[in-house]
Amino acid sequence: MMEEKEHKDFQDSEYWATNAEQGGWSLASTDEGNQKMDIEEPQEELNIQMGKEVLDDYIGREEISSEDDRMIVNMGPQHPSTHGVLRLQVELEGEIVRRVKPVIGYLHTGMEKTGESLTYSQGCTNTTRMDYLAPLFNELVFSLTTEKLLNIEVPERAKQIRILMTELNRVTSHLVALATGGMDIGAISMMIFGFREREMILNFFEKTTGLRMNHNYIRPGGVAADLPDGWKKDIQEILEEIPKKLKDYDQMLLDNPIWNGRLRNVGILTTQECFDLGITGPSLRASGYEWDLRKVEPYSGIEKFNFDIPVLEDSDVFSRWRIKVLEIQESLKIIEQAMETMPKGDYRVDDKKVTPPPRKRLDESMEALIHHFKLFTEGFKVPEGEAYVAVESPRGELGCYIVSDGSSTPYKMHIRAPSFCNLQALPVIMSNSPIADAVASIASLDPVIGDVDR
Amino acid sequence: MEEQIYNIPADQLRSKVLELRNQGYEMLVDLTVVDWYRKRDDRFELVVNLLSLSKKKRARILSNISNEKLECESLTDIYPGANFYEREAFDMYGVIFSGHPDLTRILMPDDWVGHPLRKDFGLGKIPVQFKNAPKV
């Protein structure tokens, strides 16, 4: 019966299998027959195949199997897609992740302890090494907290240089997030592209601060050096190039069916979960809640600039990827305005107790020599008190809590690291989804292990 | 953003946090401990930073932990995000949070002895031996 029916199908259709017309061939025995495609694909099917509509999320089997079917697999700490030395204990049931436990501490170097023995002017060399993809933000938050305790106001130019540099840093950090995120999902070109564009900005950083990472450029009382000659030309080049490249990324990924299929409706993190777990930054904004410390708690005069906060509603991995692209565009707007309206003036605060004297003065003035000596041996004293200041780092709220006992080293220095807190979302977004989505979920949170372990 | 600072005894900490949560502080931003070794009678001070996103306010709760017990109640059932922070505080200062679901070391190795961020834990106390170090 079966064979007859299939044979009839064969005769009616326009398809034919090799040698089938010679007779004696059962269509079911050939590969071609089994692969027969419909002549007209329904539009809904086509939409799914083209990635315009995504029906995912994977729904695992509901019935709970016995303990024997589960196994605990160790992922990391040397796994390349865990962005450093993150270790995950993953409980698997077949291919489905049932429970996750992040294990951290492999990069712990006791920076908060070290910070208690470094003076305030040395402190930035320490904090800059925490979040190594966004070092300038760490320097900024430490400097802002120290300045709040000292109760000093830095000059306008210093403020604007800080904004310019940190927003450039946000672009580099998001570019790395896009690049490594792309690599995790299999878009190797994205990895090359992201690091290529980042290099352009890192070259500018090297020109300005002397180093590509770990700059120690933003210091309590201002910045370490003025912008180099011809900085406007470099920034203009960056402002011309990056938007073009962003268009390239969009062309490659935005309507890409594989990219959409892998990312849409995967790793849902709702606004309420963000509130409960203390998750801020792009992940919170991708869940449809508008919250950015640059708007609600402005620092360094960022309230003067005209920019928007991108908010997306889907709260999945795709929107967490997309929001980073949109934030790069907004950051470029700020950079352009900061470049055009850069005020003239001093780049360090005019306070002899905080700012070391220029080299030339040391040969002329005894007082300058004494100040220089005191600042570099003992450091400046900070009045007693405690302060918490937060800035919007590329990963969320980056806070610094300093307790001063009146000496020249912090009595207690604590950094509220966004990556540390954001890692708590991993069990929420990874459980009950296939292990293939796990890597995409980790990449979407963009954890930096230096920031997690400190 | 306006910031409010509360000084609360450790036994009322939980009720105060609950009260603030009901007043619209949706997020626990930060939790840490300050060690006032030989400077104050109660050695450890718990610092909890709360954030209200709807009202755009911050609150900081400072609370002294008594020396005899070194214990305070966990906030993980009010704010699940306190989990990692309390583990860190336990790891670094040895303060015990009763009611925490998994109070283990988080950053230091599991077999570590001592709590490194305490003031009486010296910097560079543990000698590190390097392989192939040149003989002096």
Residue A275 touches partner B, C-beta closer than 8 Å: yes
Nearest CA in chain B to A108: B107
State residue A134 phi and psi, 5-degree precision. Answer: -130, 60
pLDDT in tens, A130-147: 988 999 999 999 999 999
The arithmetic mean of pLDDT across residues A347-364, rounded, is 86
Q: Is A38 exposed, middle or buried (0-12, 13-18, 19+ CB in 10 A)?
A: exposed
| Inter-chain touch A416–B29, beta carbons under 8 Å | yes
Q: Which residues have a Cβ under 8 Å from the Cβ of A256 and sit 6 or more positions away?
A: A51
| Inter-chain touch B34–A110, beta carbons under 8 Å | no
CA A333 to chain centre: 19
Chain A residues with CB under 8 Å of B29 CB are 278, 280, 390, 397, 399, 416
Given a cut of 70, is residue A192 above it in pLDDT? Answer: yes
| Inter-chain touch A416–B49, beta carbons under 8 Å | yes
| Average pLDDT over chain A, rounded to an integer | 85
How would residue A2 be classed by pLDDT, with cut points 50, 70 and 90? very low
Q: Is A76 exposed, middle or buried (0-12, 13-18, 19+ CB in 10 A)?
A: buried
Catalogue all structural domains in chain B, each as residue range(s) with its CATH number: 2-98 (3.30.460.80)
ipTM score for this prediction: 0.90
Token representation of residue B58? 């911050």
Name the residue type at position A198: R
| Inter-chain touch A297–B1, beta carbons under 8 Å | yes
Nearest CA in chain A to B124: A114
| Inter-chain touch A113–B117, beta carbons under 8 Å | yes
User: Would you list the DSSP string of B26-74?
Assistant: -EEEEEEEEE-TTTSSS-EEEEEEEEETTTTEEEEEEEEEPTTT-EEE-
- Which residue would you say has higher pLDDT here, A202 or A23? A202
The arithmetic mean of pLDDT across residues A311-320, rounded, is 90
CA A397 to chain centre: 12
| Inter-chain touch B107–A108, beta carbons under 8 Å | yes
Q: Hey, what long-range contacts does A120-124 have (CB within 8 A, 24 or more apart)?
A: A120/A146, A120/A220, A120/A379, A120/A380, A120/A382, A120/A408, A120/A409, A120/A410, A121/A219, A121/A220, A121/A375, A121/A376, A121/A379, A121/A380, A122/A379, A123/A220, A123/A410, A123/A413, A124/A216, A124/A218, A124/A219, A124/A220
Give the other-Cβ count within 10 Å of A176's Cβ.
20
| Inter-chain touch A105–B28, beta carbons under 8 Å | no
What pLDDT was estimated at residue A419? 92
Residue A279 touches partner B, C-beta closer than 8 Å: yes
Query: Given 3-state DSSP classes, what are the helix, strand and coil percentages for chain B, each rounded to the nearest 5?
Result: 20, 30, 55
What pLDDT was estimated at residue A65? 57
Token representation of residue A423? 């890692």
- End-to-end, the C-alpha distance of chain A in Å comes to 71
Token representation of residue B71? 């214990």
The single residue listed with the structure tokens 């946090």 is B17
Give the other-Cβ count within 10 Å of A91's Cβ.
15
Low-confidence ranges of chain B (pLDDT < 50): none
| Average pLDDT over chain B, rounded to an integer | 87
Global pTM reads: 0.85
Chain A residues with CB under 8 Å of B55 CB are none
Residue B31 touches partner A, C-beta closer than 8 Å: no
Chain B residues with CB under 8 Å of A287 CB are none
Q: Measured between CA atoms, how close is B132 to chain A, in angstroms?
A: 22
Residue B30 touches partner A, C-beta closer than 8 Å: yes
Chain B residues with CB under 8 Å of A401 CB are 30, 32, 47, 49
pLDDT in tens, A211-251: 988 899 999 988 988 999 989 999 999 999 999 999 989 88
Q: Which residues have a Cβ under 8 Å from the Cβ of A429 and sit 6 or more positions away?
A: A267, A268, A269, A441, A444, A445
State residue A94 phi and psi, 5-degree precision. Answer: 65, -120
| Inter-chain touch B81–A390, beta carbons under 8 Å | no
pLDDT in tens, A369-381: 998 898 888 888 9
* Percent over 90 (pLDDT), chain A: 41
Residue A105 touches partner B, C-beta closer than 8 Å: yes
| Inter-chain touch A421–B108, beta carbons under 8 Å | no
pLDDT in tens, A166-186: 999 999 999 999 999 888 888
Given a cut of 90, is residue A13 above it in pLDDT? Answer: no
Catalogue all structural domains in chain A, each as residue range(s) with its CATH number: 152-366+421-447 (1.10.645.10)
pLDDT in tens, A376-402: 888 889 999 999 999 999 999 999 999
Q: Which residues have a Cβ under 8 Å from the Cβ of A424 and sit 6 or more positions away?
A: A102, A277, A278, A279, B80, B81, B83, B84
Given a cut of 60, is residue A6 above it in pLDDT? Answer: no
Nearest to B81 among A117, A277, A399 (CB): A277
Nearest to A453 among B26, B58, B107 (CB): B107
Q: Which helix (H) or strand (E) holds A431?
A: none
Q: Which residues have a Cβ under 8 Å from the Cβ of A234 and sit 6 or more positions away?
A: A203, A204, A207
The arithmetic mean of pLDDT across residues A88-102, rounded, is 87
Given a cut of 80, is residue A42 above it in pLDDT? Answer: no
Per-window interface: B 86-125 vs A, CB < 8 A? 88, 92, 105-109, 116-117, 123
Say what angle helices A231-253 and A188-209 make with each other, to 10 degrees.
Answer: 170
Residue A250 touches partner B, C-beta closer than 8 Å: no
Nearest to A388 among B60, B79, B117 (CB): B60
Q: Measured between CA atoms, how close is B68 to chain A, in angstroms?
A: 23
What pLDDT was estimated at residue A1? 44
How would residue A45 be classed by pLDDT, with cut points 50, 70 and 90? confident
Chain B residues with CB under 8 Å of A453 CB are 107
| Inter-chain touch A401–B3, beta carbons under 8 Å | no
